[in-house]
């Protein structure tokens, strides 16, 4: 078959992919697919949120003509009440684009109560959601919310304004926050959408050290490559800085949160498992063996395959020079990478983040061009290199 060159990602993919995505899009036309998601964690109660409007900015990955949002009170200790919910295209700062505002309802109502440990999805909204665009989602919190369900860092400037002002075009007096509260998913429906891929990992996946208020994290860059290649797939980032594979760190360990943050995501067909094991090696004492990391990864693969989800394994990036690197743990990283690259691993594809980012002269170190400076996290160029390592043909198999 003719091989088509993708100049953006450097990947060459088969013409057969065209018929695959056409068939898949027809099957997905009536299904919800995530265009944005985040991993949830517990946050302390904040009484200052009572009586405020939250305007939160999220970056879409794939386009659709209908939209819904999910509000989570997973870690709450009391009922969460929200009202006056709106979605609009985001403009500069807290400003929304004129004429784009839509009210969001829950079972036909303008308010909803979410019980502790639960989440609710909104009614469908007829909303032309662009790919690779910023949405402003606003809602009012009339009372104290108790313990907060939130990701650790939104990597976006969000806004907290006094009073019920969700319908306002601009919130010039609003306070800025780097957090995002209660909002965990934005889903779309569209005739040409083929499903979603979840990027699942720790700080490298979440985007620590990437430029704030940009789409420079590697999952965001992957979404750009897919869109420019004409492949309509949602990219859902459920990375958590400090997360680990085997034991709890920041958030529940990867095995425990895998069902919620990967398997239960709307429209998921693929998962890329990334950098969690680096934190097991660096921040667990004694560090686990490569065999323990490999066994846990195989359990994740089995869980994904049981749901007919393809599991792409990533090699572990180098981190010598980081404050928790130890020479005695380096063989385990190399052994894990050997497992990932082995055709008998049961991985459905390999993202060789190690090969994409290490210094050829010093393979246990980041290439300086890609190093954020802490020898652990990639800078924007490093995030682009990781995204470039994803062969887009993996999504057509």
70: domain CATH number is: 2.60.120
The per-residue pLDDT for 12 is 42
Q: What is the CATH number of the domain that holds 276?
A: 3.40.50.1110
Between these two residues, 242 and 16, which has the higher pLDDT value? 242
Give the residue from 80, 87, 90, 53 showing the smallest Cα distance to 145: 80
Q: Please identify, among 186, 215, 250, the residue that sits at the C-terminal boundary of a domain.
A: 186
Between these two residues, 376 and 9, which has the higher pLDDT value? 376
Residue 25 is assigned to a structural domain of this protein: no
Q: What is the mean pLDDT of the chain?
A: 93
- For residue range 163-181, list pLDDT tens digits in order: 999 999 999 999 999 999 9
Between these two residues, 22 and 145, which has the higher pLDDT value? 145
Q: Are residues 155 and 67 in the same domain?
A: yes
Q: Are residues 163 and 248 in the same domain?
A: no
Q: Name the one residue in this structure whose structure tokens are 């490569």.
A: 290
Residue 149 is assigned to a structural domain of this protein: yes
pTM here? 0.92
The pLDDT confidence band at residue 19, using thresholds 50, 70 and 90, is very low
Q: Please identify, among 161, 186, 211, the residue that sits at the C-terminal boundary of a domain.
A: 186
- For residue range 107-132, list pLDDT tens digits in order: 999 999 999 999 999 999 999 999 99
Give the residue from 322, 396, 388 showing the smallest Cα distance to 355: 388
The total number of structural domains that make up the chain: 2
Query: ∠ CA(182), CA(187), CA(191), 5° rounding?
Result: 175
Report the percentage of the chain scoring pLDDT > 70.
Answer: 92
The per-residue pLDDT for 29 is 54
Please state, in angstroms and rounded to a whole number, the distance separating the CA atoms of residues 62 and 226: 9
Q: Are residues 178 and 208 in the same domain?
A: no
The per-residue pLDDT for 66 is 98
Q: Are residues 228 and 299 in the same domain?
A: yes
The pLDDT confidence band at residue 26, using thresholds 50, 70 and 90, is very low
Residue 33 is assigned to a structural domain of this protein: no
Between these two residues, 29 and 214, which has the higher pLDDT value? 214
The per-residue pLDDT for 145 is 81
The pLDDT confidence band at residue 25, using thresholds 50, 70 and 90, is very low
Residue 105 has pLDDT above 70, yes or no: yes
- For residue range 47-93, list pLDDT tens digits in order: 999 999 999 999 999 999 999 999 999 999 999 999 999 999 999 99
Residue 36 is assigned to a structural domain of this protein: no
The pLDDT confidence band at residue 144, using thresholds 50, 70 and 90, is confident
Residue 97 has pLDDT above 60, yes or no: yes
Q: Are residues 255 and 367 in the same domain?
A: yes
Residue 6 is assigned to a structural domain of this protein: no
Rounded to 10°, the helix 290-306/276-283 angle is: 150
The per-residue pLDDT for 9 is 39
The per-residue pLDDT for 28 is 46
Residue 18 has pLDDT above 90, yes or no: no
Count of residues for the chain? 397
- For residue range 198-220, list pLDDT tens digits in order: 999 999 999 999 999 999 999 99
Q: Are residues 176 and 223 in the same domain?
A: no
Q: Are residues 212 and 172 in the same domain?
A: no
Q: Are residues 363 and 238 in the same domain?
A: yes
Residue 13 has pLDDT above 80, yes or no: no
Q: Are residues 128 and 267 in the same domain?
A: no
Q: Are residues 199 and 85 in the same domain?
A: no
The pLDDT confidence band at residue 315, using thresholds 50, 70 and 90, is very high
The per-residue pLDDT for 260 is 97
Residue 11 is assigned to a structural domain of this protein: no
237 is in which domain, residue-wise?
195-396
Q: Are residues 240 and 159 in the same domain?
A: no
Q: Are residues 154 and 224 in the same domain?
A: no
The per-residue pLDDT for 224 is 98
134-141 vs 52-59, strand pairing mode: antiparallel
Residue 306 is assigned to a structural domain of this protein: yes
For 330-358, what is the mean pLDDT?
98
* Helix ranges, the chain (H): 16-28, 203-206, 218-228, 254-258, 276-283, 290-306, 330-341, 353-357, 380-388
Contact 150, 80 (CB under 8 A): no
Q: Please identify, among 186, 214, 240, the residue that sits at the C-terminal boundary of a domain.
A: 186
Please state, in angstroms and rounded to a whole number, the distance separating the CA atoms of residues 390 and 69: 28
Report the percentage of the chain scoring pLDDT > 90.
Answer: 90
Residue 16 is assigned to a structural domain of this protein: no
């Amino acid at each position: 078959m003719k091989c088509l060159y993708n100049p953006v990602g450097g990947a060459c993919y088969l013409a057969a992919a065209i018929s695959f995505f056409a068939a898949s899009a027809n099957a997905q036309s009536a299904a919800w697919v995530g265009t944005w998601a985040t991993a949830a964690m517990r946050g302390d109660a904040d009484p200052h949120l009572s009586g405020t409007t939250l305007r939160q900015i999220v970056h879409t990955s794939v386009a659709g003509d209908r939209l819904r949002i999910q509000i989570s009170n997973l870690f709450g200790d009391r009922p969460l009440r929200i009202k006056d919910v709106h979605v609009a295209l985001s403009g500069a700062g807290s400003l929304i684009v004129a004429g784009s505002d839509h009210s969001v309802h829950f079972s036909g109502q303008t308010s909803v109560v979410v019980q502790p440990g639960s989440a609710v999805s909104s009614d469908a909204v007829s909303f032309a959601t662009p790919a690779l665009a910023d949405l402003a989602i606003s809602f009012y919190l009339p009372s104290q919310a108790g313990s907060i369900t939130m990701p650790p860092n939104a990597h976006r400037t969000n806004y907290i304004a006094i009073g019920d002002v969700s319908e306002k075009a601009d919130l010039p007096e609003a306070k800025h926050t780097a957090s995002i509260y209660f909002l965990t998913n934005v889903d779309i429906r569209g005739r040409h959408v083929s499903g979603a891929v979840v990027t699942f990992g720790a700080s490298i996946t979440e985007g620590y050290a990437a430029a704030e208020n940009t789409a420079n994290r590697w999952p965001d860059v992957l979404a750009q490559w897919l869109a420019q290649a004409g492949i309509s797939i949602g990219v859902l980032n459920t990375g958590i800085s400090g997360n680990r594979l085997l034991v709890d760190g920041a958030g529940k360990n990867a095995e425990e949160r895998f069902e919620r943050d990967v398997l239960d995501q709307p429209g998921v067909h693929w998962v890329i498992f990334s950098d969690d094991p680096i934190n097991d090696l660096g921040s667990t004492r004694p560090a686990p063996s490569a065999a323990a990391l490999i066994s846990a990864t195989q359990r994740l693969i089995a869980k994904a395959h049981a749901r007919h989800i393809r599991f792409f394994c990533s090699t572990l990036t180098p981190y010598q020079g980081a404050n928790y690197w130890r020479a005695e743990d380096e063989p385990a990283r190399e052994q894990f990478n050997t497992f990932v690259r082995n055709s008998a691993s049961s991985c459905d594809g390999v993202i060789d983040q190690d090969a994409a980012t290490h210094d050829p002269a010093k393979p246990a170190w980041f290439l300086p061009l890609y190093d954020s400076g802490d020898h652990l996290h990639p800078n924007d160029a490093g995030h682009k290199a990781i995204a470039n390592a994803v062969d887009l043909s993996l999504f057509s198999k």
